[in-house]
Amino acid sequence: MFSKISIRARLIGAIFVLVSLMLAVGVIGQISNRAGEAALHETYSVQLASALAIGESKYNLAVARIAIDRALLHPESGDIKALVDKTRDYLKVSDNAWRRYLDLPKTAEEDAIAKDVSAKRNTFIQQALEPSLAALLRNDATSADKITMQVAPPMALAFTKSGNQLDQYLLKHGQENYEGFSSEFHQMGFISVGMIILGVAVGILCGWGLQRAIARPLNQALTHFSAIADGDLSRDILIQSQDEMGKLMNGLKTMRDGLRATVTAVRQSADSMATATSQIASGNADLSQRTEEQAASLEQTAASIEELTGTVGQNSESARQANAIANEAESISIRGGEVTDKVVHTMRDIKSSSDQMSAIISVIDGIAFQTNILALNAAVEAARAGEQGRGFAVVASEVRALAQRSAVAAKEIKQLIDESVNKVDSGTVLVEQAGATMQDITDAVRKVSSIIREISVASDEQKDGIDQINKAVAQMDGVTQQNAALVEEAAAASMSLQEQARTLQDAVSKFQYDSAEIASFSGARSGASQLVTYSGRISPARSRLS
């Protein structure tokens, strides 16, 4: 049940329970304090005030009675009227105190007793003390003594008994209040102690529960982390709760499973790479054998080349004669080339002169146009200025400058035209010379043609042999290049795969796991098949070599 509750909810619940217990203890203490305050208030404002008022009333009433008895025992002691007045003052103070008591709050039982005491008190005062005082004022000592000795004692006794009953009730009521408050105080104390004990128990229980929910899973997680760091992937990770620690253990299990699967795939890939490496090594051995066969083919090619040597000797003499004639033709061709070059340069100069003439003519056209504009402006300025022809002077100066430029350009055009005429004449002469030279070249070419015919026959024979040589050489060259490329690729791949396989095997060798728990991975198998396919690509090359 608790394993499905999150740690956050547990912490909140524990804090809520502890805070609730603290609030309960505080509320109970506050209630106890309020009850004690109410009890003390009742004791002070009611019971103590009642006791003081009753005591004061009894005291003054007793003093008044003693004063009457003294007056009867010592009639010669002084003024009777003053004594009576003083006695009545005592009675008045007693009445005031008794009224204060009657005004205080009472229970129904106390109120009944107080009424009885009040009635007997009034009877004692009105039927005993007041008549005695009246007899004393009349100087009737006999009546006063009779009242004091016969009438007053029974009334005083009844008043005293009733007053004692009231005192006993007040004492009993005060004791009951004290005992009730004391019982409530002790009860509240027991409840507070119980709450504190309950809070301590809840705190211990919560601490134990949190320690069980957090510390133990963390220790288990640390143990699994250490095992994984040491390469042990075979330990089973138990998930005993669905709280945060359960999620942590679930994530740890997922990580362990993924790492175990990865290690398995890597180990399978390493084995596949080792297999492919061995196949590549076998291919290298086959390539070495094909290279030896290629050497034998090269020997046969050398023999064919020796046979061609005789044919090449026959062609050598003809080549010498052709060389002499070719040299003569070459010199003639050189002369013709020089003449042709001169003609070409001459034509280029003519073209350049023509281009310059075109440019100069363009300049002359521009100058003529500007001269026209300036002349127009000069006319306008002259018209505006009248006699003050400053502007006209400037325009006239520009016109003169343009006229000078036009004159220079005209001279240059004339010179260029003259030079072009001369160069055209020279070109004509050169063309004639080139024609004669080309005739000489034609004669020499005729002689060369007859010799070339003889060379052609030998060249045909050489062509057949050379074709065979070219085919053999081309085949050997292609095979050699393929062999070299395959050997390099195979060697590099073999070394790389061997190194990678060794590295992977060293890396995964420290991991321990139950291979029966891991399913075969298609990715690893496809990787191995790709490596085998690559090694199998050597077979077509082998067939081509054979």
Pairwise pLDDT comparison (539 vs 322), residue with the higher score: 322
pLDDT of amino acid 448: 67
What Rg value do the Cα atoms of the chain yield, rounded?
73
* d(C-alpha 136, C-alpha 129), whole Å: 11
The HSE-up count of residue 122 (CA atoms within 13 Å, CB side) is: 6
- HEC per residue, 223-242: HHHHHHHCCECCCCCCCCCC
Residue 461 has pLDDT above 60, yes or no: yes
**Six-digit token pair at 215?**
């510390």
* 299-498 under CATH 3.30.70.141, yes or no: no
Residue 254 has pLDDT above 50, yes or no: yes
Q: Fold for 2-219, please state it.
A: Four Helix Bundle (Hemerythrin (Met), subunit A) (1.20.120)
- Name the 3-class secondary structure at 532: helix
pLDDT-derived band at 40, boundaries 50, 70, 90? low
First vs last C-alpha separation in the chain: 78
Among 277-286, 491-500, 526-535, which stretch is predicted with the lowest mean pLDDT?
Answer: 526-535
Reported as type and span, the H/E element at residue 149 is none
Percent of the chain surpassing pLDDT 70: 63
- Name the 3-class secondary structure at 139: coil
What are the tens digits of pLDDT across the range 480-529? 777 667 767 776 777 777 777 778 777 766 666 665 555 544 444 444 44
What are the tens digits of pLDDT across the range 406-446? 767 767 776 777 777 677 667 767 766 766 776 677 677 66
| 71 and 80 Cβ atoms separated by less than 8 Å | yes
Among 43-47, 195-199, 350-354, which stretch is predicted with the lowest mean pLDDT?
Answer: 43-47
At residue 436, what is the residue type?
Answer: A
Residue 449 has pLDDT above 70, yes or no: no
Where in the sequence of the chain do the CATH 1.20.120.1730 domains occur? Answer: 2-219
| 335 and 437 Cβ atoms separated by less than 8 Å | yes
pLDDT of amino acid 382: 67
pLDDT of amino acid 532: 38
pLDDT of amino acid 89: 92
**Six-digit token pair at 235?**
């330990």
Pairwise pLDDT comparison (381 vs 456), residue with the higher score: 381
* d(C-alpha 505, C-alpha 273), whole Å: 11
> What is the DSSP code string of 488-531?
HHHHHHHHHHHHHHHHHHHHHTT-B--GGGSPP-HHHHHHHHHH
> For all residues of the chain together, what is the average pLDDT?
73
pLDDT of amino acid 12: 82
pLDDT-derived band at 542, boundaries 50, 70, 90? very low
* Main-chain dihedrals φ then ψ at residue 232, nearest 5 degrees: -90, 105
Residue 546 has pLDDT above 60, yes or no: no
**Six-digit token pair at 197?**
């004990």
Where in the sequence of the chain do the CATH 1.10.287.1490 domains occur? Answer: 299-498
Percent of the chain surpassing pLDDT 90: 3
